[in-house]
Structure 1
Amino acid sequence: MTRPSACGREEATIRVIVTGGAGFIGSTLVAALLGRGDEVVVVDALTPYYDPALKRAALDAVAGPGLTVVEADLNTVDLAPVLDGADAVVHLAGQPGVRKSWGDDFVAYTRANVDATQRVLESIVRTSPGTRFLYASSSSVYGQAETYPTHEEMLPRPLSPYGVTKLAGEHLTGLYAESFGVQTAAFRFFTVYGPRQRPDMAFTRFLGAARDGSPITVYGTGEQIRDFTFVGDIVDALIAGLDATSALPRVMNLSGGSSVSVNEVLDTIAAVTGERLDVQRLDPVRGDVFRTGGDSTRAREALGWEPKVTLEEGLRRQWEWIRSL
């Protein structure tokens, strides 16, 4: 199969498996891949971490020729036929959330973030060894970093069980590259936002509250600093990773370069929406770090990637999406 390139030449399409493709980042990536003519297989368990109807709606919104959806658990599905003919796997599936990863819920995180990752990698080795594997990691692996912006060679010291499981997935990704020659790369996402963002995430909650005139809950003082990254910029990096013709670095930061406080975000939301915000503050949450901020030099050098969307513009786009719901 072929697709027309920007300069008119015909380019070969690729077959991409997107695990967690019904989610926020996944559905955005699926839309971009289908838009350029690739074949996409979504594997998603549609777990009830948040309303599965929202995930089905996200898939319906991006559905088109070239899309196959497999509703299944990666820990139990027969992966051989799923991986047959695949050029790449973008592994976005996992159990999200720092706050819920403590206590008895931890088993859900090890199963979804560690066991499932190992099972996909093992299946690639057995049935499809030429398949490239891109792993979605998180800035949570750093914990309270020693310096900012944080670069990939700094010692990861997660502050939450969630971060521990994402780091374990990174290690598995590197292990299968070194031991079996699988083409792998892990991307550390820094606080992704934009249209289709999960309902439990801060910007969706904040913008929804602005729309509805309801209170906004902020954990802590609001002076926490985050490096926010627009979802479209994340997708651009993932596609660049799929298209790269040479070996990729083992791990790369994907950070938007904003590094602003939650209070500054609230000021921007008030300006973008034109609404008065009712902010209510609660105690800080165990496992939340005070600051994140990434150095994306490695992704720039390896992929030619730069974040393009400013925080204000990204919030404006997410606000338009929130109002359309």
Structure 2
Amino acid sequence: MRIIVTGCAGFIGSHLCEKLLQQEENEIIGVDCFIGPTSPLLKRQNLKKLLQHPRFQLLQESLMNMDCEKLLQKADVVYHLAGIPGVRASWGKDFLPYTENNILATQRLLEAAKSAKLTKFIYASTSSIYGYKHGMVSEGAMPEPLSPYGVTKLAGEHLCAVYHKNFDVPVTILRYFTVYGPRQRPDMAFHRFIKQILLDQPLTLFGDGTQSRDFTYIDDCVKGTASVIHAKNTAGKVFNIGGKERAAINEIIRKLEQLTGKKAVIHYLDAATGEPKHTHADISLAQELLGYSPDISLDDGLKKEIEYMKVILKGESI
């Protein structure tokens, strides 16, 4: 099976490629233009194992510039993970790259998918499209994004829907809930907290720490994502991909103190504009149709990310 993975050098994309290559029948063409909050050096580190794999090929180019029809010509499956992530950076003058890489690039890829013979087109979306909801959120909840980032990801979802309706592009949408673990982006909370506590620096906390999230460990996330390939009746459907445990940020900090044996000094900042107070995923549809079941506890996941960060901070190769 020939699989295209856009955003292959990113946090989720690199793990997904490694997961898919565990099946010997899969060949992967990864696309990444090395932009976004993760440095090119770390992205190269993410790709280290993949670049040595005989069934992986990297195309270091932007979807805005490449021939997408040629890219998809012989593809069976597309995983579209490429885009500019992050809520806080999506305001003001920085909105332009979000529109280009999250909306326009998605439209170019979908346009190419019209004439391709794909069995699946999987679009990576986000819980940010929901905005603030009370309690557990199902896929049928009214989208009310609170940030320009969330708006661009919802626009991508709408593009997927119209190309599915009008041209039968076999689109499946996955909404990720706060994915964490090794290779997490440097701008994300766990990466920052672990780095700061290991270096004996104050933890920069946006808000009062009572905000809670549905945390999804990276292995669980990619397991659910990879399962779409062989699942039936997924075209035109949307799935929440959430985690095993929810927790408040203050609870996470206490766990990090216990796991590192260090006391955190917290530097409180104003709450970030555009981020919901709480998230809670209803994953029953993914359980039913994808066989999705998250396995990794917060304690185990945090331990793995701490070990990864220790290696990164030493400047060692992974």
1:98 Cα offset (Å):
0.3
CA distance in 1, matches of 2:36, 2:126: 21
In the other structure, the counterpart of 2:214 is: 227
**Selected match of 1:255 from 206, 230, 242:** 242
In the other structure, the counterpart of 1:113 is: 102
> Any stretches of 5+ residues in structure 2 without a counterpart?
313-318
**Paired letter, 2:183:** R
TM-score, normalising length: structure 1: 0.92
CA distance in 2, matches of 1:71, 1:85: 19
Report if the CA contact (8 A) 1:193-1:228 is conserved.
Answer: yes
**Selected match of 1:264 from 225, 237, 251:** 251
In the other structure, the counterpart of 1:133 is: 121
Task: State the secondary structure of the residue aligned to 1:30.
Answer: helix
**Paired letter, 1:277:** A
Whether 1:49 and 2:37 are equivalent positions in the alignment is yes
Task: State the secondary structure of the residue aligned to 1:251.
Answer: strand
In the other structure, the counterpart of 1:142 is: 130
CA distance in 1, matches of 2:57, 2:306: 30
Task: State the secondary structure of the residue aligned to 1:118.
Answer: helix
1:238 Cα offset (Å):
1.1
Report if the CA contact (8 A) 1:16-1:87 is conserved.
Answer: yes
1:249 Cα offset (Å):
5.3
CA distance in 2, matches of 1:48, 1:174: 26
1:62 Cα offset (Å):
2.9
CA distance in 1, matches of 2:232, 2:87: 35
CA distance in 1, matches of 2:84, 2:76: 25
TM-score, normalising length: structure 2: 0.94
Task: State the secondary structure of the residue aligned to 1:42.
Answer: strand
**Paired letter, 1:172:** L
CA distance in 2, matches of 1:197, 1:34: 21
1:106 Cα offset (Å):
1.1
**Selected match of 1:212 from 187, 192, 199:** 199
CA distance in 2, matches of 1:87, 1:48: 28
CA distance in 2, matches of 1:324, 1:97: 25
1:112 Cα offset (Å):
0.6
CA distance in 1, matches of 2:33, 2:50: 18
Deviations 1:200-235 (A, max 9, x none): 111111111121111110011000011110111110
CA distance in 1, matches of 2:69, 2:302: 40
Report if the CA contact (8 A) 1:124-1:131 is conserved.
Answer: no
In the other structure, the counterpart of 2:302 is: 315
**Selected match of 1:179 from 155, 166, 175:** 166
* Structural mapping, 1:1-325, within 5 Å: 14-37=1-24, 38-63=26-51, 64-126=53-115, 128-145=116-133, 147-248=134-235, 250-325=237-312
1:35 Cα offset (Å):
2.4
1:247 Cα offset (Å):
3.5
CA distance in 2, matches of 1:322, 1:187: 27
Residues 45, 108 of structure 1: CA spacing in aligned structure 2 closer, same or farther, 3 A cutoff? Answer: same
**Paired letter, 1:22:** A
Residues 149, 183 of structure 1: CA spacing in aligned structure 2 closer, same or farther, 3 A cutoff? Answer: same
Task: State the secondary structure of the residue aligned to 1:57.
Answer: helix
**Paired letter, 2:259:** V
> Any stretches of 5+ residues in structure 1 without a counterpart?
1-13
**Paired letter, 1:30:** C
1:259 Cα offset (Å):
2.0
**Paired letter, 1:124:** A
Report if the CA contact (8 A) 2:164-2:236 is conserved.
Answer: no
1:131 Cα offset (Å):
4.1
CA distance in 1, matches of 2:73, 2:300: 40
In the other structure, the counterpart of 2:315 is: none
CA distance in 2, matches of 1:237, 1:272: 28
**Percent of aligned pairs with the same amino acid:** 42
User: What is the RMSD computed on CA atoms of the aligned residues?
Assistant: 1.2
Task: State the secondary structure of the residue aligned to 1:227.
Answer: strand
CA distance in 2, matches of 1:154, 1:247: 19
**Paired letter, 2:113:** I
CA distance in 1, matches of 2:151, 2:126: 10
1:48 Cα offset (Å):
4.9
Task: State the secondary structure of the residue aligned to 2:90.
Answer: coil
